Amino acid sequence: MCGIFCYIGMQDAVALVMDGLKKLEYRGYDSAGIAINNNGILIHKRQGKLEALSSSVPPAFRGSKVAIGHTRWATHGSPNIVNAHPHVSADGKIAMVHNGIIENYETFRSSFGETDIQCEGETDSEVLVKYIALQYQEPFQNLEEVVAKVLSEVQGSYSLVIMEESKPHKIIAARRGSPLVVGRSDDGYYLASDILPILPHTRKVVYLEDGEIVVIENNQLQIFDFSYQQKQAEFQYLNIDLHSADKTGYKHYMLKEIHEQPKALRRGHGQQMSNDNLLPELQPFMETISKAGRIIILGCGTSWHAGLVAEYVIEKLCRVPVEVEYASEFRYRDPVIYADDVIVALSQSGETADTLVALEEAKKHGALLYGVVNVPTSSIARLVDVYSNIFAGPEISVASTKAFICQLNALYLFAIKLGKYNGNLSPDYSLSVLKELRQVPDILKNYLSYIVYRIKNIAMIYSHVNHTLFLGRGLQFPIALEGALKLKEVSYIHAEGYPAAEMKHGPIALIEKGWPVIIIALKSDPHYKKVLSNIEEIKARGGSVIGIISEGDESIKDNVENWIEIPRISFLLSPMFTVIPMQLLAYYIGLHKGCDIDKPRNLAKSVTVE
């Protein structure tokens, strides 16, 4: 879960790499480092955020035409300067940056016993580069042959970039299970673990596949597999809006991305509803999907919450059994998978390691794999049988907001399409749901324009608390989970999400005078009266109730301490609105507390290791 950015070409490599790492800091910010090859390999590393590195680059680093850089989120070893990347071989002649986990690194370390090789830090990455250097001897003619041989022995996931002192105009890179993209421009080549830092320089890119090595030397690029067989490099042109990755006047990316949600939904509708054919990419697979014995949805974190909403919606509209699984647990419990299952994978990045591994397990059993992703060139999009792009655009803040609502949008469309196809949805009802879904972007834009002020005030009232409970019933239970997650991520306040009906089965013991409870109580909810009973139970124990309520519901306002209205919308689509107060409350509470909103401690945006 680290960021890699490298450059080889004719420009000032250090300046380019520093700028690239800045765009990747959301992937890791425990430490950062850079290496150049200028009459010998020079390394510069700093603990903490990238600013500590960029403000202290020695003069000797300026002017280099080759540089490899890294910003770290610690997996193996403490977040300190010794464990920071790049790491070097024992003789200092090979440097490497690495993202991922080498699971069998202790096997490689054991080979150092008969040598004088010592590891200064605790990382698997340092062991790997020292082992590669140890193997670099006859009959190998070049370093890439050694890298291919060693990586064929490695267990785990990685993307890595290597430079060699004796070859100042050459870098080597490889990947398995962790993303790496190469961009080509007139002035050189760029390598990164994410497309965003490459886009300002070029739109011509090639995504490395698992088990591929790229060698760039003297402005020439070659790709090999781990058997050292050469492969064709196929560059593609990306048409991506570069400005969507800027803050454009907002204080934080999170706030910008919350306010981008109407635009993102509108973009998705334009692509996913063309010619009244919902999600056209699914059409060739609909016969198989309609005969599915069940649908299994995989996701992690916020994506898992989107899957829980989809479980309610798909079962209601399609009458097909749905199971929602943590991708991180799915593989390890020896799951029962049938050939007529449909596996739906949700991932904003399309690189989530847990989800990828779960899909590979499902693929062995012959199930149809369907990806719902935000990056159509991602590993998940390339692995599945068919994928849908959610069209959220770049999401930089670690706390996901617009990707969640765009996932919901795609999953609603999937449910409507399947319900129509298998005959469980009448044409009139499906049209009415679609009509309302098309209105969501405009209603949401208007809602965001007037609700912020009220949420700011409520956030100030509750920013001092240490614990919070989120409650919701049915479709709103996943939103309660999402609200609790957002508050934990952004403000570091302990929060729990629960089904409201489960409150009496344990959580009510926590409630005491002043304890804040955020509860979703919509008049359109078939169980509205039961939610009102939950509110009375909380008040009777001194709890402070913040109600997420329906617009115009005056009667409930006397029963809650604070309230936030959502627009009139059907209960089926209400999660797309009840999540908005959750996102904004987390943001403004975190802001009031002085938290690092876009880069919360201990978190990284794309979880590319298990």
Please list, residue by residue across 280-290, b when 16 or more beta carbons sit within 10 angstroms of its beta carbon and e when fewer do: eebeeeeeebb
- Residues 6+ away with beta carbon under 8 Å from 152: 226, 227
- Rounded to the nearest 10 degrees, what angle do helices 302-318 and 402-421 cross at? 20
- The letter for the amino acid at 273 is M
581 DSSP 8-state letter? H
How many Å apart are CA 229 and CA 226, to the nearest integer?
Answer: 7
- Rounded to the nearest 10 degrees, what angle do helices 402-421 and 261-272 cross at? 30
Listed residue (390, 386, 333, 389) closest to 358, CA to CA: 333
What is the torsional sign of CA 458, 459, 462, 467?
positive
Farthest-apart Cα atoms in the chain, separation: 83
Phi-psi label, residue 350: left if phi above 0, alpha if psi -120 to 50, beta otherwise: left
Phi-psi label, residue 39: left if phi above 0, alpha if psi -120 to 50, beta otherwise: left
Listed residue (236, 213, 199) closest to 144, CA to CA: 213
How many Å apart are CA 221 and CA 85, to the nearest integer?
Answer: 25
Q: Is 605 a catalytic residue?
A: yes
Phi, psi of 31 (to 5 degrees): -165, 170
Of 45, 170, 599, 605, catalytic: 605
Which tokens is 439 given? 């209105």
Give the rounded distance of the alpha carbon of 255 from its chain centre.
17
- Residues 6+ away with beta carbon under 8 Å from 571: 475, 522, 524, 525, 526
- CB count within 10 Å of CB 15 equals 17
Listed residue (193, 194, 215, 189) closest to 204, CA to CA: 189
- CB count within 10 Å of CB 269 equals 18
Long-range contacts of 11-17 (CB under 8 A, 24+ apart): 11/65, 11/187, 11/188, 12/62, 12/63, 12/64, 12/65, 13/64, 13/65, 13/66, 13/67, 14/57, 14/61, 14/62, 14/63, 14/64, 14/67, 16/67, 16/190, 16/201, 17/67, 17/68, 17/69
Q: Which run of H or of E encompasses 517?
A: strand 516-521
- The letter for the amino acid at 344 is V
Q: State the catalytic residues.
A: 2, 605
